[in-house]
Amino acid sequence: MSIGNIQEYSGLWVFVEQRDGTPAQVSLELLGKGRDLAEKLEVDVTAILIGHNVSEMAEELIFYGADRVIIADDPIAKDYRTETHTEIIVEQVFKEKPEILLIGATCLGRDLAPRVSARLNTGCTADCTELDIDKEMGLIVATKPFFGRDLMADIICPLHRPQMVTVRPGVMEVKTHNRKRSGEIVYIDVNCEEEDIKVKVLETMRAVSDGMSLEEAEKVVVAGMGVGTKEGFEMVQEFAKLLGAHVGATSLPVDEGWVSEDKKIGQTGKAIRPKLYIGCGVSGAIQHSAGMINSELIIAINTNPKADIFNFADYGIVGDVSEIIPALIKELRAVKG
């Protein structure tokens, strides 16, 4: 499939993920970032919203940065399905030819984006942590941590359109909600027939929330490779509990099975921005720091004084987790009485 003249492609689109009529946090983050990028390119930001009975959200999306909201509202799109969402987005992309399409790298986004990119025969850069515009080339530059220690890659998509990028939730900031912003709302027809769609959703099960999520936690204590053993990990948990903090982890404790995957922080896990971050035996490699660098106060405990984390920690303790954490537990118990 030929995309024609790439000069015809203009404008920045954000796919808005929604659940029960509420936009996903990452979509609001992308509207904010999209605004900055669009201003550099001097183009508009369009939000594309798909679902059933979702139009009430449209105005909010304008307040968060959209100049225009495209709504595909149809019972067939009530549940997310790869086929319907892909069909709707691709048809609209063919009609309007946006130059950039941003999608949140959630489970849904990571199912949708590669499918859309394959149908449009265009490039998609996955799980980016920074986005910028190269004004000279008129291209979006998507930065992502690359396999290997501290490697970053700047990826471009020069000859195909739209340039697609997925962005990890939590790494961009939500822009201020501005009620004075105005924009256009456009309804489009959905041309999908149920009998053509091969995948059916038989059941949806929501996990019961265990209180505040890691992303929203004010304090997070993170266990890294330096905790050494399961017992070491449990000690860090004990410390977190006394401090009233959530527990997070780098890859190792997750891979060892000491803690579930949903506690992983970093490039392939969650991105957090708590008021207090305490890294216990965390070295601070980019795969992890990509998910925590926006924390307000960073405290690091590591035996290696040259560990990367000391380059961006506010306070550092050069010492062994197995000695420092018991002392902290003792101190906290004394303080709490």
Partner 1 sequence: MDIVVCIKQVPETSDIGWDPKTGSLIREGVEGILNPNDKNALEAALQIREQHGGVITALSMGPRQAEDALREALSMGVDKAILLNDRIFAGSDTLSTSYALSLAIKKISRFDLILCGKESWDAMTAHVGPQVSELLNLPQLTYATEITIHNNSVTIKQKLENGFRILASSFPALITVEKEIDQPRIPSMESIMNAYRDKEVQVWTNEDFGEHKTHFGLKGSPTQSRKVYIKKVHKGKVAILEGKPDEIARNLIQLLKQKGLCCGIYVNWQYTRI
Assess 18 for contact with partner 1 (CB under 8 A): no
Separation between Cα atoms, residue 192 and residue 250, nearest integer Å? 43
Burial category of 91 from C-beta neighbours within 10 Å (exposed 0-12, middle 13-18, buried 19 and up): middle
- Separation in Å, CA 264 to CA 49, 112, 220, 286: 30, 23, 12, 14
**Is 38 strand, coil or helix?**
helix
Of 3 and 185, CB closest to partner 1 = 3
Compose the 59-98 pattern: x for residues touching partner 1 by CB under 8 A, - for all others. Answer: -----------------------xx--x------------
Residues 6+ apart with CB under 8 A from 306: none
- Least distance (Å) from partner 1 to the CB of residue 72? 20
Separation between Cα atoms, residue 27 and residue 49, nearest integer Å? 10
Assess 328 for contact with partner 1 (CB under 8 A): yes
Of 147 and 194, CB closest to partner 1 = 147
**Is 285 strand, coil or helix?**
coil
- Least distance (Å) from partner 1 to the CB of residue 160? 4
Q: Which of residues 91-150 bind partner 1 (CB under 8 A)?
A: 106-108, 110-112, 114-115, 117-119, 121-127, 141, 146-150
Of 68 and 288, CB closest to partner 1 = 288
Of 55 and 319, CB closest to partner 1 = 319
Q: Provide the 8-state DSSP code for 175.
A: P
Residues 6+ apart with CB under 8 A from 127: 105, 144, 166, 167, 168, 267, 268
Of 43 and 293, CB closest to partner 1 = 293
Compose the 28-57 pattern: x for residues touching partner 1 by CB under 8 A, - for all others. Answer: ------------------------------
Q: Which of residues 147-176 bind partner 1 (CB under 8 A)?
A: 147-160
Structure tokens at 153: 């890659």
- Least distance (Å) from partner 1 to the CB of residue 84? 12
Size of interface with partner 1, in residues (CB under 8 A): 99
Of 46 and 302, CB closest to partner 1 = 302
Assess 27 for contact with partner 1 (CB under 8 A): no
- Least distance (Å) from partner 1 to the CB of residue 60? 21
- Largest separation between any pair of C-alpha atoms in the chain: 72
Residue among 8, 184, 196, 314 that touches partner 1 (CB under 8 A): 314
Of 69 and 133, CB closest to partner 1 = 133
Residues in the chain: 337
- Least distance (Å) from partner 1 to the CB of residue 199? 5
Assess 1 for contact with partner 1 (CB under 8 A): no
**Is 66 strand, coil or helix?**
coil
Separation between Cα atoms, residue 230 and residue 9, nearest integer Å? 54
Q: Is the dihedral of CA 114, 121, 83, 44 positive or negative?
A: positive
- Least distance (Å) from partner 1 to the CB of residue 242? 8
Q: Which of residues 187-246 bind partner 1 (CB under 8 A)?
A: 198-207, 210-212, 217-219, 237, 241-246
Of 56 and 202, CB closest to partner 1 = 202
As a whole number of Å, the CA-based R_g of the chain is 22
Compose the 291-310 pattern: x for residues touching partner 1 by CB under 8 A, - for all others. Answer: --x---xxxx-------x-x
Q: What secondary structure does DSSP assign to 235-281, as a single string?
A: HHHHHHHHHT-EEEE-HHHHHTTSS-GGGBBSTTSB----SEEEEES
Assess 268 for contact with partner 1 (CB under 8 A): yes
